[in-house]
Chain A
Amino acid sequence: MNDILFPLAVFFAAVFTNNILLTNYLGMCSFLSVSKELETSAGLGIAVTFVMATTTAINWVVYHFLLVPFQLEYLRFIVFIIIIAAFVQLIEMVIERYSEGLYFALGIFLPLITVNCAILGASLFMVIREYSFMTSFFFGFGSGLGWLIAILAMAGIRQRLRTAKIPLGLDGPGISLIIAGFMAMAFMGFNGMITIS
C-alpha cells in the first residue's frame, strides 16, 4: 500500500477493526468506572483522543531521534510514561490559564489519563509495529477515537440499564463486562473491512 493510503487504513483499522479497548482490553479501568454518565464519558473520551494522538507523535520523535541513536531502546517504558505525564500536566496548566470553560469540562479528567493504559499502549504498539511518523499519529488519533466511541456506546447503554432488573451479583462491573463483550462481538462485524498486519 502506498504512503498516503496506509496511514488512513491504519486510522480506520484503529477505530473499528482493531479497537484498542474492545480487542486489546486497554483502558479498561477508566472505561468501567467513568462510563456511568454520557457527559462525563464524552469529556474523558475527547481528552483521551487528544492526548493519545499528540503523545504518540511526540513519543515517536523521541524514540527515533533520541533513544535509537544512543541505543537506549530499553528505557522506552520510563521515557514514554514521563513524556505522557509531563504532557498531561502541561496541557492542564495551559487549559487552566486560557480557557476556564474547557478546564472545567476536561481538566478533571486529565490526571486520570496518565494512568490510562491505552495511552501508553498506543505508544508501545507503534514501536513494535514499526509505524512511520504519519502512521503513528493517525494510529494514536484513531485509537483514541475508537475508545471514545466505545465509552459513549457503553455510557448510553448503562443509562438505559439503570431501571433494569439485574441479578445482584452481576450488578456493576459484571454487567458492564458482558455489555463490553457484546460490543466486542458487534465490532468483530467490521472484520474484513480493512486488513492490516
Chain B
Amino acid sequence: MAAGMIKKTFLAPLGKDNPVFVQILGICSTLAVTNKLENTMVMTLGVMFTTALSSWTLSVMRKWIPSRIRMMVETMIIATYVIIVDIALKAFYPEMWKQLGPYVGLIITNCIVMGRIEAFALQNKPMLSLVDGLASGMGYAYVLLVIAFFRELLGTGTLWGYQILGSWWTNWSIMIMPPGGFFMLAIFIWIVREAVFKEGTK
C-alpha cells in the first residue's frame, strides 16, 4: 500500500469530497449542538471516533458478512461504538453528557458513518478505511466548528464560554436559536460552492 494512496484518501474528504458541503450528508444530529463551540467539539470528536473505528471494523470483517444482512451488521457495529462514546462521556464528562442529551445517540443515524462504510470500507483494506473514516469525520468536524464559532461569537459574544466581545456588542440572539443554524450552514455552503464554480469556469 503506497503512502500516496493514504495521503489521497486522507485529503479528499477535507476538500473536494467534503461530506457536508459537497455531499450534504449527516447534518441532522450535529447541527443542533453548534450553538456552543465546546459542545460541537465534543460531539464532532464522537463522530470522528465512530466513523474511523466503524469503518475499520467493517473493513476487517467485510469478507465474512453476507451482503443481504450487511445493513444490519453495519448498524450494530456503529451502535456499539456510539454506546462506547455515550458511556465514556457519561462517566468522565457528565455535565456535557447532560447538555448533549439525545444527540450522542443520534450519531447512529448520521448518514456520514453509514455512507462511508457503504461507499468505501466495503471495498478497501482496513488501514485505508480507517484513514478514510477519520478524514471524513474531520472534514465534517471543521465545517461544524466554523459554524459553531460564528454562532457562539455572534450569538452570545463568547468563545468556549469566555467573554470575547466587550459590552458594546449587542448579542444576535437569533444566532443561537434554531434559525441561526440553518442560515449559517446555508451561507457556508453558498460561499464554498461559489468558489468551486469560479474555479470550474476558469
Is A26 an interface residue, CB under 8 A from the partner?
A: yes
Contact A25 B83 (CB under 8 A): no
A9 at the interface (CB under 8 A from B): no
Most buried by B among A27, A173, A188: A173
In contact, B106 and A124 (Cβ under 8 angstroms): yes
Q: Is the CB of B28 within 8 A of A25?
A: yes
Decide: A25 and B193 in contact? CB cutoff 8 A.
no
Instruction: Scan residues 1-54 of chain A and give those whose CB is less than 8 A from a CB of chain B.
Output: 22-29, 32-33
Interface string of B103-124 (1 = CB under 8 A from A): 0011011110010000000000
Q: Is B190 an interface residue (CB 8 A)?
A: yes
- State whether the Cβ of B182 lies closer than 8 Å to any Cβ in chain A: yes
Residue of A nearest to B197 (CB): A168
A interface size (C-beta, 8 A): 44
Main secondary structure of the interface of B (DSSP, over half): helix
Asked if B185 lies at the interface with its beta carbon under 8 angstroms from chain A, I say yes
**Closest B residue by C-beta to A173:** B24
Are A169's CB and B29's CB within 8 A?
A: no
A127 to B86, CA, bound (A): 15
**B106, A75: Cβ atoms closer than 8 Å:** no
Binds B, one of A98-106, A157-165, A175-183: A175-183
Out of B24, B32, B109, B193, name the residue touching A115 (CB < 8 Å).
B109
Which residues of B come within 8 Å of A, CB atoms? 24-29, 31-32, 72, 75-76, 79-80, 82-83, 86-87, 101-102, 105-106, 108-111, 114, 174, 177-183, 185-186, 189-197
Q: List chain A positions with a Cβ less than 8 A from chain B.
A: 22-29, 32-33, 74-78, 81-82, 85, 115-121, 124-125, 127-128, 167-170, 173-175, 177-178, 180-182, 184-185, 188
